[in-house]
A = this chain, B = another copy of it.
Amino acid sequence: MRILVDVMSGDHPPHELVSGGVRAGRRRKLDIVFAGDPDLIRKALVACNARPGSSFEILPSTQVIRMDDPPVRSVREKPDSSTILGLRALRDGDVDAFVSPGNTGAILAGSVFSLGRVAEIPRPGILVALPTLTDQDILLIDVGANSDCQPDHLMHFALMGATYAREVIQIERPTIGLLNIGAERGKGNRLVESTYELLEAGRLPFVGNVEAHHLISERPVDVVVCDGFVGNICLKAIEGGVSAVTGMMKRRIHRYLLAKLGALFLTRTFGTIRKTLSYRQRGGAPLLGVNGVVVIAHGRSDAVAIESAIDVARREVEAGLIDHFSLGMKGWGDHGR
């Protein structure tokens, strides 16, 4: 399997991302193609005791799409960027998957433009796996690809999320919840009200509304569906809540001797919390519904995060997810219930 990594567009320098790619390649026996400045990549490979060759290839590019570039325009105006050349390599079948920590809007626009959408799917969606207090992650889709949605879009996010849960995470009978402001039926805005009806009438394993404060403590369902605006706000608000508590702890620990002593005993606990809940550094978010395996890593991704994003891509390729999507709702016969 060959996975391409766009090493130019993240917050970390290319050598950091190359080292993550090399680690992933060695550990998982993958061929990795690095898109970016060839000199920088070559140097970074040498630093990792790796040689450019069949396992670690270079796709040279001369342009870079920056985080603050306007998405659609940058796709048009930077055809020789690592992002666009990488997506073309994916379209042409030179690689099996594309991983980038770059500008989300540009990756989205570039993917739709280069790869096209899966025929049955009206809108692509970004899926995030959020760590929870249980052993398993909870999947949230869409977290930012579409700010204005119709009920049919949400129903297809549900389809993609449930199919991802079944085929990639291997949950035999995944459950779907609709993110809402109350548990009862009839709550919410017009979009979720209509989506509720569609999901209830459909074949997907829909179980009802779920509320934001239960997601990571109780993990009420396997897949949570929402529009991209609400999903993005929800994701960032959870992050804000987590960092508020850890921020307050830190501040008091710096200030009070007793607290400092206590923190010493809690070092491992703090480490576990950081590791479990710092989802922004963790893994990558698959862009689902386009004709190719595209994984968006967080802009702040370091080597570890890129290695983990590559693994997200690998699992999606292995599961043959896109073939399952193109079955549409037919992939959820009576056994979906």
Indicate if the CB atoms of B247 and A181 lie closer than 8 Å.
Answer: no
Contacts of A228-260 to chain B: CB distance below 8 A: 228-230, 232-249, 251-253, 256, 258-259
Q: Which residues of B contact A261 (CB under 8 A)?
A: 262, 265
Distance between Cα atoms of A261 and B265 in the complex (Å): 7
Q: Which residues of B contact A269 (CB under 8 A)?
A: 248-249, 252-253, 256, 259, 262
Q: Which residues of B contact A276 (CB under 8 A)?
A: 248
Q: Give the contacting residue for A248; candidates B228, B244, B265, B277; CB below 8 A.
A: B277
Whether a CB of chain B sits under 8 angstroms from the CB of A337 is no
Distance between Cα atoms of A181 and B233 in the complex (Å): 6
Distance between Cα atoms of A211 and B148 in the complex (Å): 18
Distance between Cα atoms of A259 and B273 in the complex (Å): 13
Min distance, Cβ A69 to any Cβ of chain B, angstroms? 11
Whether a CB of chain B sits under 8 angstroms from the CB of A77 is no
Distance between Cα atoms of A152 and B53 in the complex (Å): 60
Q: Give the contacting residue for A212; candidates B237, B266, B268; CB below 8 A.
A: B237
- Chain B residue, CB-CB nearest to A226: B233
Distance between Cα atoms of A253 and B273 in the complex (Å): 12
- Chain B residue, CB-CB nearest to A246: B245
9 shortest interchain CB distances as A-B pairs: A241-B241, A262-B265, A237-B237, A262-B266, A147-B189, A212-B236, A213-B240, A212-B237, A213-B236
